[in-house]
Structure 1
Amino acid sequence: MPKIKLHWQILIAIALAVVAGLITGHPDETALGARAVEVYDFFGTLFISALLMIIVPLIVSSIIIGIAGIAREGRLGALGGKTLGFYIFTGLVAVIVGLVAVNMARPGFINGEPAGDQLALDRGAEEVVDQVEEGGAGELVDIFHRMIPENVIRAAADNELLGLIFFALLFGFFMTRAKKENADTLYRFWDGVFDVMMRITYLVMLFAPIGVFGLVAKVAAETGVDAAGPLAIFALTVVAALAAHVFIVMPIIIRVITGHNPYRLYMAMGPALLTAFSTASSMATLPITMDCVRKNVGVSQKTSSFVLPLGATVNMNGTALYECVAAIFIAQAYGLDLTFGVQFTIVVAALVTSIGVAGVPMASMVAIGIILTAVGLPLEALGLLFVFDRILDMLRTATNIYGDGVCALIVAHLEGEKDLLPKSQGNVNI
C-alpha cells in the first residue's frame, strides 16, 4: 500500500479536525474523560512544544553551515557577490511588499475589531502587549542592541533569536578563516549538529498531522465556522501580495536593470513554474529550472550552474513575504497596533529566517515560530495557518522559482552575456 505523503496527511487531518471540532464543540462534550477541547489542546500544545524544542539548535546550525559552505568553497567572488546581493535585495523587496499588503488589508481585524475571539486565541490582548513590550521589541534602538547578545548561552535560553542569528552569521563566516584543522573540525561538528537536528525535525513532522488536528479541531470546537472569515482574508492577502511581487515588482526590476521585456520570462520559465506549483519544492524543481534557464532564457552553463542551485537553497522571496504577512496577521488578531520597531524586527527576521531554514521540512512554519518568538508574540496561533498552508505553499514556491530565474537573467546580463530572452519562445521545453 503506497504511503500517503505528508502534505496529504495534513490536509486530511485538517478536514477531519473541522468535522470533529464542529461535532464536539458543545461544552458538555467529553472524550477520554475530559472535555473534547482540552483533548485537542493537549495534542496541539505537544506539537507546538516540539517545534519550540528544535528551533534554537536548528536555526543556529543551519545558518552556520550555510554561510560556511558558501565561504568554504570560495564562492564569495564577483559572481557570488552579485548573486547573493540580488537574492538579499529581492528578498527584502518581497518582505516590504508583504508588509504593505498586510497593513492595507488588515486581515487580523474584522469590522474594526481584532479577530482573536473568532480565531479562539486564548491570551488576551493586554497580556500579549505586555509580553511584546517586555521583549523590548517596541524600540528600534533596542532591536539593534538585542542583535548583539552579551551572553550567547543566555540568549539561547531566553529565545533571543535575533542575537543568535547574528552570532551564527559571524561564526559561520569566520569559522572558515580559522586554521584549516580547526575549521574542518568545527565544520564537521556543526554539520553533525545540523544532521541530527534535521532527523529530529523529520521525527516531529511525522506527528504534524496529529498536532495540526489538535490545533485546528480546538479552533473549530470553540468558534464553529467563525474562524473561516479572517483566515480566508489572510489567504487572499498573501495571494495578492505574491501576485504584486511576481507581476509588478519583479518585471520592473528586470526592465530597469536589463532593458529586456520582462513578460517573456513567464513563458520561458513556464515548465519550472508549473512544476514548482505542483510539487511545492524548490529542490525538486531545480533540474527543470536549470533546463528552462539555459535553453529558454539563454543563460550560460557557468552562470546558471552557480546561481540556480544557490537560489534553490537561499532565495525564498515568496517564503519571506508569507512569513511577514503571517506574523503581522497574528499580531493584528491580538489587537496590536504594531510600532515601526516591531515591524522592522519582523522584516529582518523574515528575511534572515527564510534563508536560514530553507531546507527544513515545513520551513515556513518553523520560521514563523522564530519570528513570533523574536517579537514576543505567543505561538498558539501557529496552527491556524495550516488551514490554507498547502495552496499558499504551492504559490510561494512558484514565486521562489520565478525569483531564481530573474536572478539568473540579471546576473547573466551583468556578466555581459548576450542573446538573453530571445523573442522567439517557440521552442520552450514543456
Structure 2
Amino acid sequence: MKSHWQIAIALGLAVLVGMLVPSDSRVFAACGFVGGLFLNALKMVVVPLIVSSIISAMSTFGDAGALSRIGVRTMLFYTATTVLAVVTGLAMVNLVEPGIVDGRPARELLGLASGAGQLSEHVSSAKLSDVGDVFYRLVTPNPIKAAAESDLLGLVFFSMLFGIFAARIPGAAGQVQRDFWAGVRETMMHITALVMRCAPVGVFALVAKAFSATGADAIRPLALFFFATLGGLLFHLLVTMSLLLAVIGRVSPLRMLRAMTPALLTGFSTSSSAGTLPVTLDCLRHRAGVSERVTGFTLPLGAAINLDGTALYECAAAMFLAQAYGLQLDLVTQFVIVAMAVVTSMGVTGIPSASLVAIAVILGAVGLPLEGLGVLLAVDRVLDMCRTAVNVYGDGCGAVVIGRLEGESDILSRPL
C-alpha cells in the first residue's frame, strides 16, 4: 500500500479512537509517547537537512545570474501567495461576519473582559516586539545557537551565504566543500526515509491524542469563525493555488494534490511546517519530479518565510475580534491588518505560540486589547493543523512553479 494511503487510513482511525478513548486512559498516554517519539525524529533531521540542502543547492550555482533569478522569482511568488491568502481571509470574515451575533457584537457572549492579564504577560515575553525584529533575526550572531533553537530565519540566511561563497572557492578546496555537503544531504535523505516508514504510526498517535483531549468540543465554540477561516484556507489551497499552478506552472493541480498528499497529511497531523520539511522534500523530488537544484533552495526558504495559512489565520482572527468588539474598521485600518499579517507571518517561525504572538502584534497595531486572544484558544489547535497543511502546500507549489519557470519539463509527469 502506498504511503499516502497508509497515512490517510491512520488519520481516519485516529479520529475514531480519539473520540472513544478518554484522556486519562493508558491508550492516551501511549499515544502521547509514540507521537512524541515521531515528532522528535522529524525534528532531529530538520536542521541538518535544511543546512545541507541549502548549502548544496547554493554551491551548484556557478552562474550568479541563475541564482539571483531563482531567488527573485521565489521571493516574488511567496510574497504574492501570502498576500492572496491574507486577502482571502479578510474577504471571508467580512462576508460571514462571525463576530456579529443576531446583529450585535459578540463581545459579551465571548467573555472578552476576562483573562487579559495572563495572556498579555505571555505575549509580551515573546521575542517579536515589532516588525523590524523580523529583519533583525535574519542575521544571527551565532549560527550554532540558531541551529540549536531551530531559528530558521537566521539559519537559512547563514546557509545561503555559506553555499554562495562555497561555490566561488576554486580548485580542490571548493570541490571538497561541495562534495561534503552533498554527502551530508544524501545521508539525511536516507535517515528521513527511515523516519517516514514510521509515519502512519506517528500520525495515528498524534491525532488520536489530540482528539482524545479535545473531542468534539474542539469545533463547537466559535463555530462561525472556525468555518469562515476553514473556508478561506480551503479556497486558497484548492482555488488560488490551483489557478497559479495551471496558469503560471502549466501543470495539473490534481496531480499536484496527489503528489503532495503525504506531506499534507503529515503537516496536518504534526502542525509543523518545518517538521514536515523532510516529507515535503521527498514528495517534490521523487513524486513531483522537481530537481534538487530547485527544491534545495525553495523548500527550506519556504518553510522559514512562506506561511500562507498562518497569514490568513492571523488576518481572519484580528478582523473577527474587531467585529466582536463592535469596531467598524475603515479600509486603511484593514490594509494595515493585511500588511502586518503578511510581514509577521514571515518572521514567526520558531517562536513558541507563534500565531498568538503575531496576532498580538496586529492587535496592537490597530489598537485592540490583547484579551481577545483568549477566545481563539478554543479552536486554535484544530485550525493550526489545517493552516499548517496550507503552509506546506504553498511551499510545494512554489517549488513546482519555480522549477517550471526554470525550464524543467518533466515535473508532475511521472506516474503516482
Query: Following superposition of structure 1 onto structure 2, how do residues 8-87 of structure 1 map, counting pairs within 5 Å?
Result: 77-87=68-78
In 2, the alpha carbon distance for the partners of 1:284 and 1:190 equals: 19
Aligned-pair distance for 1:122? 2.2
Query: Following superposition of structure 1 onto structure 2, how do residues 3-402 of structure 1 map, counting pairs within 5 Å?
Result: 77-122=68-113, 164-166=130-132, 169=135, 187-188=140-141, 231-402=222-393
Q: Which structure 1 residue ranges, 4+ long, deviate > 6 Å from structure 2?
A: 72-76, 189-198
In 1, the alpha carbon distance for the partners of 2:315 and 2:265 equals: 25
> What are the Cα deviations for residues 140-194 of structure 1, in whole angstroms up to 9, with x where unaligned?
xxxxxxxxxxxxxxxx9xx996xx424763x678xxxxxxxxxxxx842799799
> What are the Cα deviations for residues 202-248 of structure 1, in whole angstroms up to 9, with x where unaligned?
xxxxxxxxxxxxxxxxxxxxxxx9xx977111011110000100111
Q: Note the aligned Cα RMSD (angstroms).
A: 3.4
Distance 1:406 1:172, change over 3 A: same
- One-letter amino acid of the counterpart of residue 141, structure 2: R
Distance 1:247 1:319, change over 3 A: same
> What are the Cα deviations for residues 341-393 of structure 1, in whole angstroms up to 9, with x where unaligned?
11111101111111111221221111111111111100001011111111100
**2:406 matched residue in structure 1:** 415
Identity of counterpart residues, as a percentage?
Answer: 45
Gaps of 5+ in 1: 1-10, 17-68, 124-155, 174-185, 199-224, 426-430
In 2, the alpha carbon distance for the partners of 1:190 and 1:348 equals: 29
Q: Is the 2:289–2:414 Cα contact (8 Å) retained in structure 1?
A: no
**1:135 matched residue in structure 2:** none
Distance 1:196 1:271, change over 3 A: closer
**1:139 matched residue in structure 2:** none
Q: Is the 2:221–2:378 Cα contact (8 Å) retained in structure 1?
A: no
- One-letter amino acid of the counterpart of residue 90, structure 1: T
- One-letter amino acid of the counterpart of residue 373, structure 1: G
Aligned-pair distance for 1:330? 0.3
In 2, the alpha carbon distance for the partners of 1:250 and 1:193 equals: 32
In 1, the alpha carbon distance for the partners of 2:147 and 2:113 equals: 34
In 2, the alpha carbon distance for the partners of 1:341 and 1:190 equals: 39
- One-letter amino acid of the counterpart of residue 350, structure 1: A
Distance 1:172 1:275, change over 3 A: closer
1:416 aligned counterpart, secondary structure: coil
Q: Is the 1:102–1:325 Cα contact (8 Å) retained in structure 2?
A: yes
Aligned-pair distance for 1:260? 1.4
Give the aligned length.
283
**2:190 matched residue in structure 1:** none
